Amino acid sequence: MSLANLITLARLPLLIVVVLLLLVPSWQVQLVNLVLLIILFLMDWFDGYVARLRQELTELGAVLDVALDRAVENILWVAFVQLGLAPLWAPVIFLIRSFVVDGIRGVALARGKSGFGMMHSVVGRFLVASRFMRALYGFAKCWTFGFLLLTHALILHDPSWRPSLHLWNQIFISLTCALCLLRGIPVIVDGRLYFRTKTELG
């Protein structure tokens, strides 16, 4: 197995460690956990960097990368809902978007198109496939989950922090969910092509 794929898979045990540490009622532990969370998201960038550097870009790597992204974001949402720091509608949006988008990408892949290569409109290619938007989306998730974890740490240290941080949490969660939907809609629009019959495609 390639080094890039090993880095991708290494995110799973680190994710489990982060989630388990969230259950520890110590604000000092949560500050350490915040560092681990940042590393978890940096690994998502690093595996792609290694794959490009070593020319290890493969379909398996792309599938593993998406699968681990989904695991990280959805499990973290559930964890923060359990902690009472995130609303239930946030993971619902992410889960529905994941199922719909990944289902469409699966159909496109069966027709020889990658998840990013299936985008044919200018807007779709920018919102979904451009490095800028992919980096922005990754940063938004890292920032939001990081702020939620920092909030968790501060509340454990002093519960009076909760009201003043609640509004900021809701703003960051809402913006991240909006970005999630913004990047999902073009996949649905451009993906309609792959649900046409051979007769319709000419």
Cβ-contact 41, 141 below 8 angstroms: yes
Residues 194, 147: Cα–Cα separation, whole Å: 39
Out of 1.20.120, 3.40.50, 3.90.550, 3.90.350, the CATH code matching 3-201 is 1.20.120
Break the chain into its structural domains and give their ranges.
Answer: 3-201
* Sign of the alpha-carbon dihedral angle for 118, 120, 126, 132: positive
One pLDDT digit (tens) per residue for the chain, 202 residues = 678 788 888 999 999 999 999 999 999 999 999 999 999 999 888 877 787 777 777 666 677 888 889 999 999 999 999 999 999 999 999 999 999 998 888 888 777 777 677 888 898 889 988 989 989 999 999 999 999 999 999 999 999 999 999 999 999 999 999 999 999 999 988 888 777 654 444 4
Contacts 24+ apart (CB under 8 A), 85-88: 85/148, 85/151, 85/152, 85/169, 86/148, 86/169, 86/173, 87/170, 87/173
Stated pTM of the model = 0.90
User: What is the distance, to the nearest Å, from the Cα of residue 115 to the centroid of all Cα atoms in its chain?
Assistant: 15
For the stretch 8-33, pLDDT in tens is 889 999 999 999 999 999 999 999 99
